[in-house]
A and B are shown apart, each in its own frame.
Chain A
């Protein structure tokens, strides 16, 4: 547990000292979302219909963009090897990495979504639901992305490969998340979609760290 806390604060501190890298995915999300009204139409009624898809695809791409740094920077300078060698359990290392990644990308993306959503005609009453869906979904994306990042750690052209591996795994999250967001925006009962989204996230939380830890052990040996 102490291990987890130390690693988490280390990752957060490092992120604060590299603001450019940390803010990049968030800026990317904002810009991608702003492109849709420009490319489609400025009419809010039209944009409201596509808002869930735009927000979710934007968030997914932004999360993917930042995954490349999740393990690669530490692997490049040898820190990761030391961390793996020193860890009493790889699981806490993985969970700390995922938690840091989520706090630095997932959470800011979810909090930014209402602001961008307002530009897409999302009603104010739907904002808590939009945030909740993205919070649940980005946790799952961070967990799946960590597994893919560990798989591609030593690979040639790892960055593109990382995207190729994560996208099929992320399909259920995108479907359930965008559906929950859509129902919330329409003012319909979205409980079922939220339960499914939460179920996928809990499943990822249970299984993905185990796989990531096992993969990490192979990757750094």
Chain B
């Protein structure tokens, strides 16, 4: 059958073993990529001609901002797959995404504020990106709170999946509305990295950090997912067997 691989994705023991096999690879590539990226970013790249060493926070800030939206999309996609094909594993993936997504959104906000103080002169300006990011954090919180307030796992899965789907429709509208809202306010004296290109000595470490953060998310997700699957399947035969053999 052509769709065998798809059906196997819906099987918790299969996903559990797959994740177990992938985990060490993901962990080691995270360590290597982030180590290389940090060395490149903090040691070998030159200071920025305007911002000095202050710009180096970009190596944490930009990848976490990218991940926050990426993880939300992942979560909404997994939730939609769970709703459409009634795949329990997909709901487990969505549940595992929420916490780490909220964490990266918070990291991008906090590093953004720390970067904003020396560069813009204030910890917080109502910049469209910052505002949209803040709303995204609220969406993650809402999702987690909704999930936590239902005892029935199947209902929590499907209702929170709907919230994730409604949220993903909302994200571009929020993005657009805050940009439009801000463009009519007085322009903040924002100094952005408006240059079209970065020198390779800065760009390469940044790309390494992007890759490292993304792989870190996958590594983290794989651990979270296994915990989530075990929690959900604790009464099933394969888990008992695995525990007995361990």
Q: Which residues of A contact B (CB under 8 A)?
A: 147, 151-152, 154-158, 161, 164-165, 167-169, 171-172, 175-176, 179, 196, 200, 203, 207-208, 211, 214-215, 218-219
Contact = CB atoms under 8 A, between A and B. Distances in A.
Contacts of A161: 142, 145-146, 149
Interface string B135-172: 10011011001100111100100110011011101100
B177 A155 contact: no
A200 B173 contact: yes
Contacts of A147: 166
A155 B146 CA distance: 7
Contacts of A171: 135, 174, 177-178
Interface SS of chain A: helix, strand, loop or mixed?
helix
Contacts of A211: 162, 165-166
A169 B136 CA distance: 10
A164 to B, nearest CB: 5
B79 to A, nearest CB: 12
B150 A168 contact: no
Contact of B166 (A152, A169, A176): A169
Contacts of B173: 172, 200, 203
8 contacts: A151-B146, A156-B150, A161-B145, A165-B142, A167-B138, A171-B177, A207-B169, A219-B159
A157 B149 CA distance: 7
A151 B178 contact: no
Contact of B139 (A156, A168, A207, A208): A168
Contacts of B159: 151, 215, 218-219
B91 to A, nearest CB: 13
B169 A218 contact: no
Nearest to A200: B173
Nearest to A218: B158
Contact of A156 (B149, B158, B165, B181): B149
Nearest to A199: B173
B121 to A, nearest CB: 25
Nearest to B157: A218
A152 B181 CA distance: 30
A42 B155 CA distance: 51
Residue from B135, B142, B178 whose CB has the most chain A CB atoms within 10 Å: B142
